[in-house]
């Protein structure tokens, strides 16, 4: 079982912008007064196209999908929240907290994913949205997966339900490691992938945002998986999206750690040296508008496509 893939899907935005519905549980999202909605979209589109080109230049297979015009899906540039794929042949679709985000689950995109990955089974979890008391699990935003050891790390929040998580684990044979982690205002951090990233031989994690009662459990699990622990600070997490990284690979099998330029500039020389030791490439991308208005970074923009083994 591999931790990384060389094929990814990214969604070209057509109506990107601040989403007040999503901002209710995402403290990282900012409403920008100095830009018109068209300017926000135009800048985000440039950032997106540059990111795709840089990834392709390094030999990553990038499948792009264009969001329909006037779709009313301002967060569609973050597709990792609504689906994940798995080398065992599963496609999983997830229950989304924001009603506007549910429109991102388009059949034509699902068909494209199934074809690219040769998925044999579609595990559809969106039925949790229809419960009398709906609960949510937002893909590999809510879940940071150790695919090698089949461990699902999850910071419990309004967007990350223990009930839906257990359903995912039962269907895919994962063990859950859950904890509470806190954002800049003391709120439950909205997505796990804001504060941790798991590579093949290392984990980048902000242990000091984790509840003290859960910290040892998380650390012990990560160490037990044989990974080097590279710690980042609260400030790097809250202000620079330093936890929102993703390790992928290129068609030559070289490992690439992808992060935003903002995250890269926040790393200390020691942290950078340690992540470089585990990767042939460290790719940092300028996505300032997407981070500010969308409240997510580069990991959220990349949905991994694992072809059935």
pLDDT, tens digit, 9 for 90 and up, residues 258-303: 999 999 999 999 999 999 999 999 999 999 999 998 889 999 999 9
Q: What is the pLDDT of residue 25?
A: 53
Specify if 1 maps to a domain.
Answer: no
Specify if 24 maps to a domain.
Answer: yes
Q: Is the pLDDT of residue 27 over 80?
A: no
Task: Give the pLDDT band (50/70/90) at residue 126.
Answer: very high
- What is the dihedral sign for C-alpha 264, 268, 269, 270? negative
Specify if 309 maps to a domain.
Answer: no
Contacts of 90 (CB under 8 A, 6+ apart): 119, 120, 121, 122, 123, 171, 172
pLDDT, tens digit, 9 for 90 and up, residues 10-20: 999 998 875 55
Cα Rg, the chain, nearest whole Å: 18
| Total of domains in the chain | 1
What's the rounded mean pLDDT across residues 47-51? 98
Task: Give the pLDDT band (50/70/90) at residue 149.
Answer: very high
Q: What is the pTM of this model?
A: 0.94
pLDDT, tens digit, 9 for 90 and up, residues 197-245: 999 999 999 999 999 999 999 999 999 999 999 999 999 999 999 999 9
Neighbour tally for 309: CB within 10 Å: 10
What's the rounded mean pLDDT across residues 85-103? 95
- Measured between alpha carbons, how far is 269 from 285 in angstroms, rounded to an integer? 18
Q: Which residues pair with 178 in a beta bridge?
A: 154
Residues belonging to the chain = 309
Q: Is the pLDDT of residue 166 over 80?
A: yes
Specify if 160 maps to a domain.
Answer: yes
CA 157 to chain centre: 15
Q: What is the pLDDT of residue 284?
A: 98
Asked if 42 and 15 touch (Cβ cutoff 8 Å), the reply is no
276-301: b or e for each residue (b if 16 or more CB lie within 10 Å)? eebbebbbbbbbebbbbbbbbbbbbb
More confident residue, 267 or 190: 267
Specify if 2 maps to a domain.
Answer: no
- CATH classification of the domain holding 160: 3.75.10.10
Specify if 74 maps to a domain.
Answer: yes
What's the rounded mean pLDDT across residues 76-85? 97
Backbone angles phi, psi at 122, to 5 degrees: -105, 110
Q: Is the pLDDT of residue 151 over 70?
A: yes
What's the rounded mean pLDDT across residues 176-195? 95
What element of type H or E holds 145? strand 143-146
What's the rounded mean pLDDT across residues 82-98? 96
List for the chain the helix, strand, coil content (%; round to 5): 40, 25, 40
Q: What is the pLDDT of residue 21?
A: 56
Domain span including residue 106: 7-304
Q: What is the pLDDT of residue 32?
A: 66
């Amino acid at each position: 079982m591999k931790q990384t893939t060389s094929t990814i899907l990214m969604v070209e935005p057509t109506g990107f912008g601040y989403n007040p519905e999503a901002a209710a549980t995402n403290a990282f999202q900012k409403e920008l007064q100095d830009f018109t909605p068209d300017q926000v979209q135009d800048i985000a589109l440039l950032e997106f196209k540059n990111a795709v080109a840089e990834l392709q230049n390094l030999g990553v297979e990038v499948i792009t999908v264009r969001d329909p015009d006037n779709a009313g899906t301002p967060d569609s540039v973050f597709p990792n929240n609504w689906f994940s794929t798995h080398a065992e042949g599963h496609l999983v679709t997830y229950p989304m907290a924001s009603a506007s985000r549910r429109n991102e689950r388009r059949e034509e995109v699902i068909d494209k994913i199934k074809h690219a990955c040769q998925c044999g089974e579609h595990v559809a979890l969106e039925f949790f949205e229809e419960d009398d008391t709906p609960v949510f699990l937002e893909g590999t935003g809510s879940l940071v997966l150790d695919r090698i050891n089949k461990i699902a790390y999850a910071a419990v929040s309004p967007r990350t339900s223990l009930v839906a998580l257990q359903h995912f684990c039962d269907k895919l044979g994962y063990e859950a490691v859950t904890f509470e982690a806190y954002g800049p205002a003391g709120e439950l951090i909205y997505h796990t992938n804001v504060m941790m990233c798991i590579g093949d031989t290392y984990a980048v994690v902000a242990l000091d945002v984790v509840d003290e009662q859960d910290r040892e459990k998380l650390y012990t699990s990560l160490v037990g998986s044989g990974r080097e622990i590279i710690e980042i600070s609260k400030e790097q997490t809250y202000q620079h999206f330093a936890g929102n990284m993703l390790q992928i690979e290129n068609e030559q099998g070289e490992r690439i750690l992808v992060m935003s330029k903002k995250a890269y500039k926040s790393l200390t020389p020691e942290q950078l040296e340690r992540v470089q030791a585990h990767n042939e490439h460290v790719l940092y991308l300028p996505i300032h508008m997407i981070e500010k208005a969308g409240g997510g970074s580069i990991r959220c923009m990349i949905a991994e496509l694992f072809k059935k083994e």
